[in-house]
Structure formats: structure tokens, C-alpha cells
Amino acid sequence: MIPWLTLFGFTLNVAGPGKHLKPLLTVGKYYERDGKRLLPLAIQVHHAVGDGYHVSIIVEKLQRSIIEWGR
């Protein structure tokens, strides 16, 4: 979490190629635009364990959870 920073991209370079296989999720400070609250999210996944399809599943589940929580 980086709640004091509204981010539009974030990259974390982890030492040792192939040794860090867990996905990295970084969430920034939410902001409002056009009457909606937006929460910046950066996801970094090692391609050996996941690709865009897998990231889309994470994002979809997270979005559904946030929507349900806000009701």
C-alpha cells in the first residue's frame, strides 16, 4: 500500500530472476474523477507462473469484492 501517492504505474525490481514467483500488488491513494472513486492498482506477475488471463481473474475478483463491500 502506498496510500499517500496516486500512482499511474509502479514497477518493483526484485533481485534474482526466477526466484520471486508470487504476484506483487501495489495499491495507491484513491481519487475522484467524474463522480467516481478510483483506486490505482499495479500488478506485477512473473510470466513463468501467470499471464494476462490470470491477472484478469485477480482484477475481476478484487473489483467484485470492492463493489460488494461498498454496498
25 within 8 A of 41, measured Cβ to Cβ: yes
Pairwise CA distance, residues 62 & 56, whole Å: 10
Q: Does the annotation count 47 as an active-site position?
A: yes
Q: Where do the domains of the chain lie?
A: 24-70
68 within 8 A of 42, measured Cβ to Cβ: no
The residues pairing with 41 across neighbouring beta strands, listed in sequence order, are 27
Q: Which three cell numbers stand for residue 30?
A: 484513491
Give pTM, 2 decimals: 0.69
Residues 6 or more apart in contact with residue 35 via CB below 8 angstroms: none
65 within 8 A of 58, measured Cβ to Cβ: no
Query: Tens digit of pLDDT for each residue in 14-70?
Result: 776 667 788 888 888 888 999 988 888 888 888 888 889 999 998 999 889 988 988
